[in-house]
Amino acid sequence: MEEDYHCMDTILVHGDKGYDSHTGAISYPIYQTATFKHPGLNQSTGFDYSRVSNPTRDELEHTIAKLERGKMAFAFSSGMAGITAVFNLFSAGEHIIVSDDLYGGTYRLFEEICTKQGMEFSYVDTSKVENVLQELRSNTSCIFIETPSNPMMKVTDIKKVAKLARESNALMVVDNTFLTPYLQRPIELGADIVVHSGTKYLAGHNDTLAGFVIANDQKIIDQLSLIYKTTGAVLSPFDSWLVLRGLKTLGIRLEKQERNALKIAQWLKEHKYIERVLYVGLAEHQGFDISRQQATGAGAMISFVVQDKEIVKKVLENLQIISFAESLGGVESLITYPIAQTHCDIPDEMRERLGVNDRLLRLSVGIEDANDLIRDLEQALVWGID
């Protein structure tokens, strides 16, 4: 495992080719071009048109494929563009099993768009493998999971669910946004496809949108490749470069973020106005053991439930360093109110069952000083006569 780590850090810094062989440029150049001049009839430099491929995006895609231990990665203009491309693999009449706790935008894609196209979705708590088994049908063609899940931080056993998927001829897709390949590599655990919102940890600086789809099987790669160049929601050369630059520090960012998150989770746990803290890195967390088996870290996402709805408003308005903003995974700490932001499209009944209530907050811990973040939370967490 130790060796893996070093290897990962080196790939992060150096990328695939690492530098531009034409000029020696250490920072991989931004090939800001839509098209490429052909040397002659029936000749190509290897590049023809930037929707199909572009050198800067190629460098990023090869780097991401190496990190996720897949044969091929595709870079999209957002995480949702990538997930949409994956669901172009399926057609009317096919059944898909999904983690019931998941990113609201993904839920909206399934319910508002894919359902109209005739696909059927079942939402189950995939952290209990027997639920997946129970839901399998003869037409189940995909199992889509998030682990840890958003925002309830439930952990699904990737190996076990991947085995079920394989036995039923279904594709196993994992949204690996929360942990990144630095901490968890689903393809090594049996997943067929990994998706990412690269907007989050991979880019890491809250400055660009990006999405990735990684696969290992050539047949799936060929299908995705066709969808990718045909539908065209590809990542621009400049945004590709921003992600390449962000990736260089993914390892040190995540390590600092995780150290900060553990400190903050432990502090929140003791606070008189906090009812519950959901952080995979706490030993009492339900998914702690499985997470230890399949990931090399707990990441830096914490959800917590405060005692009264009034406290939520105070926290969101009083915080000085931590910003009340959507998104996660960047160097700046952000706090979100899932019921009003990321999960407003999830039906009330489903939200209640999951525990996404009006007292739940989700914190994405950044790389600031941990004590400053704790002091910020301390002064913001007031209630009544406080």
Ligand X SMILES: *Cc1c(COP(=O)(O)O)cnc(C)c1O
The SS3 of residue 75 is: strand
Out of 61, 68, 146, 192, the residue judged to bind ligand X by CB under 6 A: 146
Residue 227 interacts with ligand X (CB under 6 A)? no
Out of 95, 154, 200, 256, the residue judged to bind ligand X by CB under 6 A: 200
Residue 201 interacts with ligand X (CB under 6 A)? no
- Token digits of residue 291: 């997470």
Give 94's contacts (C-beta < 8 A, 6+ positions apart). 119, 120, 139, 140, 141, 142
Task: Say how far apart CA 324 and CA 316 lie, in whole Å.
Answer: 6
Residue 246 interacts with ligand X (CB under 6 A)? no
Name the residue nearer to ligand X (CB basis): 200 or 253. 200
- Cα–Cα–Cα angle for 80, 86, 87, nearest 5°? 90
Out of 31, 74, 103, 304, the residue judged to bind ligand X by CB under 6 A: 103
Footprint of ligand X on residues 104-133 (CB under 6 A)? 105-106
The dihedral sign for the CA sequence 362, 367, 368, 370: positive
Least separation in angstroms between residue 93's CB and ligand X is 26
Out of 8, 65, 119, 209, the residue judged to bind ligand X by CB under 6 A: 209
The DSSP bridge partners found for residue 213 are 74, 195
CB atoms closer than 10 angstroms to residue 278: 23
The SS3 of residue 195 is: strand
Bond preceding residue 151 cis, omega within 30 of 0: yes
Q: Is 175 a catalytic residue?
A: yes
Residue 157 interacts with ligand X (CB under 6 A)? no
**Per annotation, catalytic residue among 101, 175, 239, 376:** 175
**Per annotation, catalytic residue among 154, 200, 256, 359:** 200
Least separation in angstroms between residue 65's CB and ligand X is 19
DSSP state letter for 187: G
User: Residues with catalytic annotation?
Assistant: 51, 103, 175, 200
Interface ranges with ligand X (CB under 6 A):
78-80, 103, 105-106, 146, 150, 175, 177, 197, 199-200, 209, 211
